[in-house]
Structure 1
């Protein structure tokens, strides 16, 4: 007969074996299709002609998979959940698609309007807002379920005294769980406070035909570009009671405005060396303004009409892409000298650029060359290329932790 001490030792041994077996089960290597990974170096590339996105790894310069069935992506953009696992893709057909980057599948999808132009995710990650051309206005959805939370018609009084809806543009997230957007037809800027028990809208008069907007990295200033006039409209979100002020007025005074082949984008704007750099509408110029008083300090000549003007994360370089017909090159500007230091040729119809999180590389899409080229920001030489079907927007998961992106 076993003595009590022997019985205890045997039971202890059995318990330790069971714990060990459980540990083996926990650490069983995943199959290739279930490879464990974080999301910090992942991203999405829009394939605009096929309604698909590529899930890519920035560290490995490789494509992990393709997700299809996202509709019309001719003017698509992406925001991310706080953990970087889900990308919310805003399609031109009004589709809002939630993509799981880890499983490379569509997690959910809704058609929320007839024509959409982008969106934003709230500071706390609970709400996804979509900016619409048709029928206009902004819709807010629950980020988990994509259930509609709010429908905000962008109404105003038209020329004939009738109530009509405006196209909405320049939708960004702001501190305090707010959204800010512009009304193209009404010439207004609206804020939407989602932190209140009853979300509240405030309206501000802006300039003529705001076409896109940006928010400063500290979340204080919302700046809308104006298509109907020279200058930009700025709202100080710390002091909104002061209303909208105009900055850079008459920047094109005395110059002939050229036909605009593609509207500039302000979302990827550049701040470097204490200055803000903007694309000039209808001109072959990049404008530089002082950040303390927003006065114009320089007009940098470039080879065409700029679309994206973006600063590298270390603020040493400004990368500029262009509208048709001179859209097969990218020019790099030194932020201190404000001189062009290199002209690159990534391919035909360059549409978008995206810097890696710490800025050692920049990815550039060339739609008509069906490729994405990765450049070193140190040598300004290509280090990798990826095949893609008519690529346009490139969006890395680092956007999950940045305001206004």
Structure 2
């Protein structure tokens, strides 16, 4: 790509990127602050905290597919702006209610459900909107930069949450996230690029028919199917092993909370490096090969943990290994999203993204329960080892598909205009 085509000079993308970076940081903060508000302000029990977490998953399972069909009927940017404004109002109600001594569990549950529903709508529209701003290599570079923001947001949001909660309280800390959504809405409103109006639907078109059309495309296309299924398997394995990994390093490797936090921060720094390298690696290998390389990072992620023992040597081994694995994984995330958006017909973009998210997020709670039961029956180490094998399944799915012989992105009808 020439220097003139650099995203640093793309005003509209820089606005989108800046707003998303701020918003993602606020979201990571709320992920910590909302449960803390339930515990510190309302004295929530473990069951009530679990119910609050479940409320955040419910809209992803129930609403993703119809939202995808609705997104394909409308322009995406106005929808994204309104979602951000509504998020600010919904989350802003938490510190306001706490200030008036009116915060209760019913409100927190409602906030979790509505905020998650708005997140489903925004994320589906956002992933469908990006290809209208960027094309080809720029789309890959854009996903790489957004992956950098994702890693930075994890570090800044979660570490900043602790300091902010200590300073002003958990409920007031949610104010920062509410303001971050207003920042994102403002940057989106300043974008100048014209977004094409979706083609009108045939008279009498039904939402159910359009949902099924999206499912048939995702599960029937020989290139889209393995990419989406691999993504769902990665998400399922993460859901199964993530919380158990924390339990394992605490109980078996005797890590403190501070050591765990440092490991996460260092690993997120690896994610930043991976995001920055995505464009260069794509130019050298092509998106299909980068996906095959990047997905291996998940299979290797748990190996250092399984080999490590207690003590500083084991701690360094796990931290360095996790950092390298996260760097590789970020290249996979950027390549996976870019490839899906580049091969997808524009009229199916929303439904494709929604179906992918539905399969990925819907599998997480199921595998969390399954691996929790396995840990009870066969022990933590054996369950994590099984998790490492599960992470190898996405690689097998892609190697068994036409992706293994591709170097670049194949041309598709209708791709030129919008994807």
TM-score (structure 2 length as normaliser): 0.23
Point out the structure with max Rg over C-alpha.
1
TM-score by length of 1: 0.24
Higher relative contact order (CA 8 A, sep 6+): 2
Query: Which of the pair is proportionally richer in strand?
Result: 1
Structure showing the higher helix proportion among its residues = 2
